[in-house]
Amino acid sequence: MVAKTFFGFEEILAKELRDLGAQKVEIGNRMVSFYGDIGFMYKANLCLRTALKILKPIASKKIRNENDLYDFVQDIRWKELLDTNDTFAIYATVNSTIFNHSRFISLKAKDAIVDKFRKETGRRPNVDTDYPDLTINIHIQQDLCTISLDSSGGSLHHRGYRTVTNIAPINEVLAAGLLLLSGWDGQSDFLDPMCGSGTLAIEAAMIACNIPANLNRKEFAFEKWLDWDMDLFEKIEEVCLNKTRDFHHTIIGMDKAPSAVKKAQTNVENANLTEFVKIKDGNFFESDKEVEGSLHMVFNPPYDERLEINVEEFYSKIGDTLKKNYPGTNAWFITANLEALKYIGLRPSRKIKVFNGKLESRLVKYEMYAGSKKAKYQK
């Protein structure tokens, strides 16, 4: 199988897969390949935090032209995967000098499937791009064509808990990946001081409590497959839920906009995490560290691509607030405004290249020591 992800998340996705029990895990570009049975496919969709989709390759072959593609698609035993009353959709990605139109590839493959059914049964399944019973993925890399079934359906960042959002909310998979890259493991208190609709705080709680990432999701594509095993899925879900763990610290999401606070609270309730996540009204620049001991902070401040702000003033305030009010804090944040980082006035101890959508960004870490840095090393 193949798990697709964002740039920079390949290593943490591979670790997630190994921890779940995947075999033959291999890292690629924005993807990780692995082996597992049908039950593991269910578990991967349910539990992986940094995967966008789980594809199940069913055939691969070198092709030279559109006729080769047509014959290759026709050779697959589609009646084992699709009924004439079912619907299907085909999506193609092409990186080739031989083929250059993904839409044409999709149409040619559709013709091959439809013609085969007509010839064998006198009937044909219909195409439905909105709610297909089977989603087929075709990937052509030069002359190598791989046909896969999309076991996820909609992107796995659609967790199911986020029903209300603010301007430019952070993608749930991106949020989970940033948290894992920051080393968040639930062993300290957590704060998102600019929480927006609450995504980082919610994902932090799910990681801390080891709650399956997609527990609240409405459905997966494999639930419409002919070999769908509901009993097996429910058994796997039960086993995963039995592996949740207690959390003995605080997770706080804070925002100065009352509308954002309300939305975040709604999303926390949807995720059934009100026991673990507290959302409150507050301006980070007027706040202080409220907990004893180590604090883990991850946030997504606005940058001028999304909201009109005075970048120099805003980022200077972030640095000042961390310096004066948050001793004993590991502060991480993501920004696509790389120039803005020079206004923080602090030297980051880590910089990790990531992408927020198409925006090249950096996840940066600032270590705020409880005493002086010198004193820390003398202990």
For the segment 206-233, the average pLDDT, to the nearest whole number, is 96
- Percent of the chain whose pLDDT exceeds 90: 87
**239-293 confidence digits (pLDDT tens):** 999 999 999 999 999 999 999 999 999 999 999 999 999 999 999 999 999 999 9
pLDDT confidence of residue 163: 82
What 3-state class would DSSP assign to 295?
strand
Q: What H or E segment, with its residue span, contains residue 278?
A: strand 277-281
pLDDT confidence of residue 304: 55
pLDDT confidence of residue 357: 86
pLDDT confidence of residue 162: 87
**157-216 confidence digits (pLDDT tens):** 999 998 877 766 799 999 999 999 999 999 999 999 999 999 999 999 999 999 999 999
Return the bridge partners of 281, or none: 255
Residue 302 in this model has a pLDDT that exceeds 80: yes
pLDDT confidence of residue 101: 86
Report d(CA 259, CA 308) in Å as an integer.
Answer: 18
Report d(CA 307, CA 29) in Å as an integer.
Answer: 31
Distances (CA, A) of 344 to 285, 319, 347, 356, 372: 13, 4, 8, 20, 19
Residue 378 in this model has a pLDDT that exceeds 60: no
DSSP string for residues in 17-52: HHHHT-EEEEE-SSEEEEE--HHHHHHHHHH-SS-S
Residue 376 in this model has a pLDDT that exceeds 90: no
Answer yes or no: are the C-beta atoms of 8 and 54 closer than 8 Å: no
Which of the four pLDDT bands, split at 50, 70 and 90, describes residue 377? very low
Q: Give the chain's mean pLDDT.
A: 93
**132-144 confidence digits (pLDDT tens):** 999 999 999 999 9
Encoding tokens for residue 262?
Answer: 């309300």
Distances (CA, A) of 273 to 179, 219, 313: 17, 20, 35
The verdict on pTM exceeding 0.75 is: yes
Which of these, 136, 44, 48, lies nearest to 92 by C-alpha position? 136
pLDDT confidence of residue 19: 96
Report d(CA 114, CA 121) in Å as an integer.
Answer: 10
For the segment 348-360, the average pLDDT, to the nearest whole number, is 93
Which of the four pLDDT bands, split at 50, 70 and 90, describes residue 323? very high
Report d(CA 264, CA 195) in Å as an integer.
Answer: 8
Which of the four pLDDT bands, split at 50, 70 and 90, describes residue 306? low
**61-116 confidence digits (pLDDT tens):** 999 998 999 999 999 999 999 999 999 999 999 988 888 888 899 999 999 999 99
Query: First and final CA of the chain: distance in angstroms?
Result: 49
pLDDT confidence of residue 307: 58
Domains of the chain (ranges; CATH) run 2-150 (3.30.2130.30), 172-212+224-378 (3.40.50.150)
Report d(CA 106, CA 37) in Å as an integer.
Answer: 28
**185-202 confidence digits (pLDDT tens):** 999 999 999 999 999 999
Reported residue count of the chain is 379
Distances (CA, A) of 248 to 57, 186, 191, 299: 42, 9, 15, 21
Q: Which amino acid is at 62?
A: K
pLDDT confidence of residue 379: 39
Which of the four pLDDT bands, split at 50, 70 and 90, describes residue 309? confident
Least confident of 12-21, 35-44, 149-158, 162-171: 162-171
Residue 151 CB contacts under 8 Å (≥ 6 apart), including other chains = 1, 41, 45, 53, 54, 55, 56, 220, 221, 222, 225
Encoding tokens for residue 8?
Answer: 């920079």
